[in-house]
Amino acid sequence: MARRNCDYNKVAIVGAGKVGMTAAYALLLDGIANEIVLFGRDASKLTGERLDLEHAMALTYKTKIVATDDYEDLRDTDVVVFSAGAAQLPGESRLDLVGKNVKIMETMLPPIMAVAPRAIVLMVANPVDILTYRAIKMCGVPEGQIFGSGTTLDTARFRFHLSEFLPVNPRSIHTYVLGEHGDSSFPLISSASVGGQSLSSFPGFSKEKAQDAYQKARDAAAEIINSKGATYYGIGAAVTTIVRAILRGAQTVLPVSVLVHDYYGVDDICLSLPAIIDRSGASEVIKPSLDETEQEQLRQSAASLREFLT
């Protein structure tokens, strides 16, 4: 069978739960994908999801929607959004999902890579750092071809809560949440900026307010899950932002979960760090200036995850 036109973008959503389907819907609204494949085990549910998306097409973008449980339909996929797995329940941390979701990933990812060996794999299922690390080690693909959504959403939340007391749009606040996508994450404050001015010297800034903004961002998932059972709108938008950066070769810097190599003394673990996202995936990791406190927080975040890799 002939290879598709190189301008044709095919994205597969693996796992058609709330996160996966919200990501599919956000991608449809964005219009970046020519084809969206919904892949999962429940064929009848997938058919309903496909029809629901198709009925929006007259109001959005013409996109081919495929609903399938056949791995062969993933052939020639450009980006695989891996969201298959058990969801975080009220009272659980993301790390509570390690055992069951690692097994799901180890079962599903090899046959996906067999039919789509060049696909960029965006790991979204939790705990995303552990799953990303396991997937990289298992598949042996080029550096950056598999990476996780990481703290892209945490960072968006943090910037939003900072904007509640700073008189600027959150998109103009240049800072990140780094480390684990979870309780051991930390905010980058020492080198953060707004319009070229350091965040710490910006009018209205205080360490107490910044820490409060970070705490709101860190605790947001638990609050949302306790309130309505799951969080999916924010991550759907985050997935679309990352996929768009890949397909457009945008070289956008985003905080994603990547394999760390001798980074402020941290090695051989997946953590969220600023990385350049393009057609090859996470092509290069950026090394922002971290003060001594932030460096220690990075090491502590790595240590909290490492026990789950043994």
Which residue numbers are catalytic? 181
Contacts of 130 (CB under 8 A, 6+ apart): 95, 98, 102, 270, 305, 308, 309
Q: Which one, of 22, 64, 67, lies nearest residue 40 by Cα?
A: 67
As a whole number of Å, the end-to-end CA separation of the chain is 43
Peptide bond into 127 cis (omega under 30): yes
- Side-chain-side CA neighbours of residue 129 (13 Å): 33
Sheet of strand 193-194, all strands in order from the earlier edge strand to the far edge: 173-174, 193-194, 197-198
- The C-alpha atoms of residue 152 and residue 238 are separated, in whole angstroms, by 6
Q: Can you state the angle between helices 152-163 and 233-247, rounded to 10 degrees?
A: 120
Q: Which residues pair with 255 in a beta bridge?
A: 274
The H or E element spanning position 193 is: strand 193-194
Backbone angles phi, psi at 274, to 5 degrees: -65, 130
Exposure letters 71-89 (e unless 16+ CB within 10 A, then b): bebbbebbbbbbbbbebbe
Judge contact between 51 and 28, C-beta under 8 A: no
- The C-alpha atoms of residue 267 and residue 149 are separated, in whole angstroms, by 19
Read off the tokens for 291.
Answer: 């003060």
